[in-house]
């Protein structure tokens, strides 16, 4: 490699880092203090790979995004609870699900404020709010401010990150 090419590539990497573009694996979730968060449910990468489908592993553990309109959960209309596909943590009630016409299951609120966590995601050239499972840290999707009342929020969730269990949502 020529010296000029080497210097240019280093400058390009520094520029990408300055704009918040990913240079490798996603950064770990961090609390408000900036310290990496340790989640109550943890497994080795090998254990996660054996527990999850390749698609679920890519989304939950590597922050991938499934293609829109590919999840059967997008059309799920029964009463029940949507759980984390990684650790079975209850995340969203069918009562908060709505059709956002985006191609991903969408909810206006989690089942409980402690069920999910958030962090700033700067993977694109702008900031977004990433939402993850509060129990295992698995990436679920993003939260946007264009949802319905009563919250005005849209939790846009990858269906492959969820496991639906039909059940009574009120008890």
Catalytic site positions:
156
Query: Are 141 and 155 a contacting pair, CB within 8 Å?
Result: yes
Query: Are 57 and 64 a contacting pair, CB within 8 Å?
Result: no
Query: Are 131 and 149 a contacting pair, CB within 8 Å?
Result: no
Q: Rounded to a whole number, what is the largest CA-CA distance in the chain?
A: 67
User: What whole-number distance in Å separates Cα of residue 53 and Cα of residue 33?
Assistant: 33
Quick one: tokens of 40?
């109550």
User: What whole-number distance in Å separates Cα of residue 169 and Cα of residue 100?
Assistant: 21
């Amino acid at each position: 490699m020529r010296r000029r090419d080497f210097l240019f590539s280093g400058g390009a990497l520094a520029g990408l880092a300055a704009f918040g573009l990913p240079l490798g694996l996603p950064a770990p979730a961090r609390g408000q203090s900036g310290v990496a968060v340790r989640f109550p449910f943890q497994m080795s990468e090998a254990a996660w790979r054996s527990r999850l489908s390749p698609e679920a592993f890519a989304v939950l553990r590597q922050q991938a995004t499934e293609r829109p309109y590919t999840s059967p959960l997008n059309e799920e209309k029964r009463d029940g609870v949507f759980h984390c596909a990684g650790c079975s943590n209850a995340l969203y009630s069918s009562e908060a699900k709505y059709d956002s016409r985006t191609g991903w299951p969408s909810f206006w609120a989690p089942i409980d404020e402690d069920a999910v966590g958030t962090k700033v995601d700067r993977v694109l050239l702008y900031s977004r709010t990433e939402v993850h499972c509060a129990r295992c840290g698995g990436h679920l999707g993003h939260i946007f401010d264009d949802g319905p009342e009563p919250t005005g929020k849209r939790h846009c969730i990858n269906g492959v990150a969820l496991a639906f269990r039909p059940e009574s949502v009120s008890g």
